[in-house]
Amino acid sequence: MKIKKKKSLRGNLTFEDVLLDTLPNPVYYKDMQGMFIRCNTSFAKLLGTSKQKIIGNSAYDFFPKTVTDRHKIIDKNIMSTLKPYEDEVYFISNKGEILYFILNKAVSLHPNGEVAGIVCVMNDITQRIKEKEFLIQQSKFAEMGEMIASIAHQWNEPLVELSAQIQKMQLYYTMDKINKDKMSDFVNDSMIQIQYMSETLSDFRNFLKPSTLKKNFGIKKAIRDIFDIVGKQIFYFNIQVIFDFEEVKDEMFIYGYENEMKQVLLNIINNAKNKIVKVNESSDLKGKINIRLSFCNDYNLIEIKDNAGAIKEEIKEQLFEPFFTTNVNGTGFGLYMAKIIIEDKMHGKITAHNDKNNAIFTIKIPKSKEK
Ligand SMILES: Nc1ncnc2c1ncn2[C@@H]1O[C@H](COP(=O)(O)OP(=O)(O)OP(=O)(O)O)[C@@H](O)[C@H]1O
Ligand SMILES: [Mg+2]
């Protein structure tokens, strides 16, 4: 009887080990002092070592101190509340690659009800995060066409000015009138134009870079940066842009991804611009885009309004769906991405509504804690 029981116990252990090792998710079990008691092969692989080398050691032997200190506090907390805990963390693999995980931690108890330790199951979401980043980058490229047109437009003037300078220089030379002062004037005037062209280009390159870190940034400045790039293009279509920043005397700080936020604003502004241009083909509407910043309880509000007709009732529900577009050349990706960026990545809210003949897009972002 005893032998049978022992055998079945051993059988159980083997079954559990096989079960754990078959799971693709890294799993570990720590005692109350934070020592690893058990783990599976996936967890050992993640740490680039063997199960034997992990068991009996603590997280301090494998993870940076700051990260481990933080988790020690979390563990202490869940051992006292007995509540399960979920967290998103990143981890740099031994190959130097950044991996993202969702951690699910729960308290394990002895049969007598005393706390035994913590079980943690990790879920690798690196692929999901990368796919999302990829989509966001791709939709940024969709705005690129407009930006290139804008840069081409902005480079026109300094190029004309530069060629005038060069011709003038040749004229002075043929008249034998070149001296040190003339030369230095020529260089200075040319450099101003070249500087301007280079600034336009670096604004553009900055926009294309993905923002990988959340930070505090000023929304007024972000809007200014966008108009530095596309302002001429909008002006060219004779659209009046009204900046209603009356409530925000100083700056409105937002905690999030700056370039992605610019991408969202740019898409909404371009949508409005495209609609105005289309309406102008058959009427002579004086196109207006109104950008209003204001505060509302715990939120920062950004409203972008255009006067080229309300959003049609029958498409209102679909605006933010992927691939929904009413434009022949549209991808229908702009507003879908805007929703992912604002709601998933920055914990805000984006909505659209009409005010008579005006379409209004409203972005709500939680107020940033620090300035
Ligand atoms: N300001 C607006 N007023 C009325 N309808 C709008 C406005 N902005 C967007 N829409 C509607 O929402 C649809 C989806 O917009 P979205 O930005 O996602 O795609 P798109 O502009 O059509 O294509 P893309 O962004 O790839 O150029 C548009 O095709 C249009 O029908
Ligand atoms: Mg669009």
CATH of the domain at 235: 3.30.565.10
- The token duo for 238 is 């004779």
Q: Which residue, chain included where needed, has tokens 């960026």?
A: 341
Which numbered atom of ligand 1 lies nearest the CA of 326?
29
Tell me how far the alpha carbon of residue 152 lies from the centroid of ligand 1, in angstroms: 24
Is residue 79 within 8 A of residue 107, CB to CB? The reply is yes
Q: Degrees (nearest 5) of the Cα angle 286, 146, 343? A: 90
Structural domain contains residue 371: no
In the predicted model, is pLDDT for residue 369 greater than 90?
Answer: no
pLDDT in tens, 300-313: 999 999 999 999 99
Which of 70, 94, 124 is the last residue in one of the domains?
Answer: 124
31 and 177 housed in the same domain: no
> Is 153's pLDDT higher than 80?
no
Does residue 194 have a pLDDT over 60? yes
Question: Considering the chain, what is the average pLDDT of its residues?
Answer: 87
Q: Assign residue 283 a region (left: φ > 0; alpha: ψ between -120 and 50; beta: otherwise).
A: beta
With a pLDDT cut of 70, the percent of the chain lying above it is: 94
Residues 295, 164 share a domain: yes
Compute, in angstroms, the gap from residue 371 CA to the centroid of ligand 2.
32
Distance between first and last Cα of the chain: 71
Is 191 within a domain? yes
Average pLDDT over residues 81-96: 85
Choose the residue to mutate in 327, 328, 354 for probing ligand 1, maximizing ligand atoms within 8 Å of C-beta: 327
- The verdict on 161 and 105 lying in the same domain is no
Same domain, 141 and 201: yes
Q: What is the pLDDT of residues 267-321, one digit of tens each?
A: 899 899 999 999 999 998 999 999 999 999 889 999 999 999 999 999 999 999 8
Indicate which residue's Cα is closest to atom 4 of ligand 1.
311
Q: Do residues 269 and 353 both lie within one domain?
A: yes
| Domain match, 254 and 318 both | yes
Boundary (domain end) residue, out of 97, 124, 151: 124
Q: What are phi and psi of 105, to 5 degrees?
A: -115, 145
pLDDT of residue 3 exceeding 50, the answer is no
Domain of residue 218: give its range.
Answer: 130-366
Domain count, the chain: 2
For residues 264 and 148, membership in a common domain is answered with yes
The residue with greater pLDDT, 368 or 126, is 126
Q: Where does ligand 1 bind, in terms of residues with CB under 6 Å? A: 142, 267, 271-272, 275, 306, 311, 315, 319, 324-327, 330-336, 359
In this structure, are 185 and 331 located in the same domain? yes
- Residues 311 and 214 placed together within one structural domain of the fold: yes
User: How far apart, in Å, are the Cα atoms of 225 and each of 136, 203, 262?
Assistant: 19, 7, 8
Q: Which of 124, 140, 164 is the last residue of a domain?
A: 124
